Amino acid sequence: MRSGYGLAGPLPPAHIDPAAVRARVAAHPLTAGAVSSEAQHAVITNSTYDGLCYDTVHTACQSAPSTPRLHFDEAWFAYARFHPLYEGRYGRAVGPDALDDEVRPTVFATQSTRKLLAALSQTAMVHVKSAPRAPVEHDRFNEAFMMHGTTSPFYPGIASLDVATAMMDGAPGRALIDEAVTEAIRFRQAVVRTGRRIVETGDRPGWFFGMWQPDTVTGPRTGERTDFADIPASALGQDPRYWYLEPDADWHGFTGLDEGYALLDPIKVTITCPGVTAPGQRSESGVPARILTSYLATRGIVVEQTDSYSRPVLFSMGITKGKWGTLMDALMDFKALHDNDAPLERVLPALAGEPPDRYSGLTLEQLCRQMHEHLTRAELIDALDTAFRHLPEPVLPPQHCYQRPIRGGTERVPVAKAADRVAAAMVTVTPPGIPVLMPGESTGTTDGPLLCYLRALEDFDRHFPGFHSETHGVVLDPRTGDYLIECLRQER
């Protein structure tokens, strides 16, 4: 489920229903002859790049009838256990007090501790909360884990995990998270208030960047609707009800959600750009996020990832008003440069070297208009949504395909000629950083959703050199600019 911005949404409750899970397992081409006809392990991303996190206790209750093991991928969420704003929103909250042992699933929670806490690169944690229904023996789990890792401990990494743990312990940990949440809220409100002032003063063109968050919220105590920007930051930082995804609300663009089912994490801030809305309406003009990201890089501001009309900003521990004030200044300066038709060679001088003088004589506003028109015409957001809604057909188990590259059993095939081939490596589009094609899956027909989307990305890269898409598993042919993907070599 994706919004009009292309942001990945939460798994709808109806998709976790036991009958729905059993139907998907039964319909899967590779389950014939499986040891069990029941699902054995479910993986759910808890806190996406854009900050959507589940009521994990409720999710476990819904999943329990169909799945004995539940895995919450909490790569960006290691701090949740240490602040009341996230109570009941992390994997380890699922325990005996939530479900009886007879039905409670064993819960795994994996956290890339390095991403938002003070730990060295590649350090992470695996938490296992074993349940009698599907017990996990520590020694066996440890042996299996070491087969995929190393038996040689990296003590500086382990020490850094200890430091991260100590940081979160007790009142100091909560204070650090409080500060991050508060500064994120202040930035959110500053962007909204700036946009409001631009509209109220009648400046033309009357646009500014937005925030992916509700415009108005219902006060938990008063029951009255209030503008989000006018609520005290202290209240927003303490009551999770302000951050619920209200069912079918326009601001998030998702359907089929229950009240309180999903929450927006305040510290994961998504800046939205003019050109499209969460429900998917397009406007005549727009400011593609890729251009904004390139400009921010000239100001020394490096972003995590960029979508067509949105880009997330992480308010990790230690972000201060001075730091987000620099980002705010850059957003204001970008608007001024855009509205004053500044020459592109002054705004993005690195583009001057792109052949063959692709951007010569253009202004920032003209480039924004060209790219917006191309994105609208190519319907890139819709194409990606379609690719995720209509998944490729599995032909072989992934583990069979992993053996082929080391034995010379694969070849790189241009996307234009890749119809009805079997992938040998995953293809992952960032954002959202989720595979659109796994090893062993069919690429589909020429006019199928996957190849249509990859060709649309390829065409975008040809039209806008210097703004290449970030797609893992795709190799760019330096001679032709073609997208190449790794496929199993066909028998001759």
Mind listing the pLDDT tens digit for each residue in 238-251?
999 999 999 989 99
Q: Which two tokens stand for residue 376?
A: 């609208």
pTM: 0.92
Q: How confident is the model at residue 492 (pLDDT cuts 50, 70, 90)?
A: low
Q: What are phi and psi of 399, to 5 degrees?
A: -65, -25
**Percentage of the residues of the chain whose pLDDT score is greater than 70:** 99
* 94-108 mean pLDDT: 91
* 480-491 mean pLDDT: 90
Count of other CB atoms within 10 angstroms of residue 204: 8
Mind listing the pLDDT tens digit for each residue in 105-128?
999 999 999 888 989 988 999 999
Least confident of 28-42, 260-274, 323-337: 28-42
Q: How confident is the model at residue 203 (pLDDT cuts 50, 70, 90)?
A: low
Half-sphere exposure of 6 (CA within 13 A, CB side): 30
Mean pLDDT (the chain, rounded) = 91
Reference 227, options 243, 214, 240, 236; nearest CA is 214
CA distance 65 to 16: 10
Distances (CA, A) of 333 to 8, 194, 292, 299, 337: 30, 13, 11, 11, 6
Mind listing the pLDDT tens digit for each residue in 351-393?
987 777 899 999 999 999 999 999 999 888 888 888 888 889 9
* 19-39 mean pLDDT: 89
* 334-343 mean pLDDT: 96
CA distance 230 to 208: 18
pLDDT at position 72 is: 97
Rounded to the nearest 10 degrees, how much is the dihedral formed by the CA atoms of 487, 6, 114, 262?
Answer: -120
**Percentage of the residues of the chain whose pLDDT score is greater than 90:** 68
Mind listing the pLDDT tens digit for each residue in 204-230?
678 999 999 999 988 888 888 999 999
pLDDT at position 204 is: 66
Cα angle value 360/366/371 (rounded, 5°): 100
Burial class (CB in 10 A: 0-12, 13-18, 19+), 419: middle
pLDDT at residue 453 greater than cutoff 70 = yes
Mind listing the pLDDT tens digit for each residue in 160-202?
999 999 999 999 999 999 999 999 999 999 999 999 999 888 7
Q: Length of the chain in residues, anyone?
A: 492
